[in-house]
Chain A
Amino acid sequence: SQTIHQWPATLVQPVGSPLSLECTVEGTSNPNLYWYRQAAGRGLQLLFYSVGIGQISSEVPQNLSASRPQDRQFILSSKKLLLSDSGFYLCAWAVNTEAFFGQGTRLTVV
């Protein structure tokens, strides 16, 4: 069966520091992969999606970037975090249109 791993579960970072969140999927090949963010009191916002290695589409212009160096690995990065980057970051993979989420990373920028 397919599983998705996302780490770390929680992260506290100072403003201006870099960020790297990693997500890996097991049990499937060539999955569609997604990064979502859920800010306090707001809905899930799609940040990036990828349909294959090196293929990244950005939904919202911002301080973040994504990369897909391997088929089942998706990385979310930032060179300099802002306070507004705080939120709950979720990696997801999809088969057809059904999306399945990792455990999420709660990022607090201080």
Chain B
Amino acid sequence: QKEVEQNSGPLSVPEGAIASLNCTYSDRGSQSFFWYRQYSGKSPELIMFIYSNGDKEDGRFTAQLNKASQYVSLLIRDSQPSDSATYLCAVPPGGGADGLTFGKGTHLIIQP
């Protein structure tokens, strides 16, 4: 059973600070990792993906991957109230055609 674990939160961060979201996964063979953002009542949207160990930066977002520890994180710099949402970590369980396994998500609240 492939599992993806996230702290459900809520995680409350003041505006302008760095928000740190964490995810662990059980399948040591996983090769790619995805972060989705989901606003309340809306569908998830892909914001970052990472394949290699280390950091990947895209604007205010940085994804960090540590395959040895089976740990992936998402950092949001200069947090804005519009970043308030649920962030979902996802991992393809097999070759990729059979869909993504999602964590339950972390609810992030940016306090103005």
Give A contacts to B, CB under 8 Å.
32, 34, 36, 42-44, 46, 49, 51, 57, 59, 90, 94, 96-104, 106
Contacts and interface: CB of A to CB of B under 8 A. Distances in A.
A44 B96 contact: no
Contacts, number: 53
B67 interface: no
Contacts of B103: 43
Contacts of B88: 43-44
Interface of B: 32, 34, 41-46, 49, 88, 90, 92, 96-105
A73 B40 CA distance: 27
A103 B41 CA distance: 9
B104 A42 contact: yes
A49 B98 contact: yes
A25 to B, nearest CB: 14
**Which label, helix, strand, loop or mixed, suits the secondary structure of the B interface?**
loop
A19 to B, nearest CB: 19
Contact of A32 (B41, B43, B44, B97): B97
A104 B42 contact: yes
30 contacts: A34-B99, A42-B104, A43-B88, A43-B102, A43-B104, A43-B105, A44-B100, A46-B98, A46-B99, A46-B100, A46-B101, A49-B97, A49-B99, A51-B97, A90-B43, A94-B97, A96-B96, A97-B34, A97-B100, A98-B34, A98-B46, A99-B34, A99-B90, A100-B46, A101-B43, A101-B45, A102-B43, A103-B43, A104-B43, A106-B41
B43 to A, nearest CB: 4
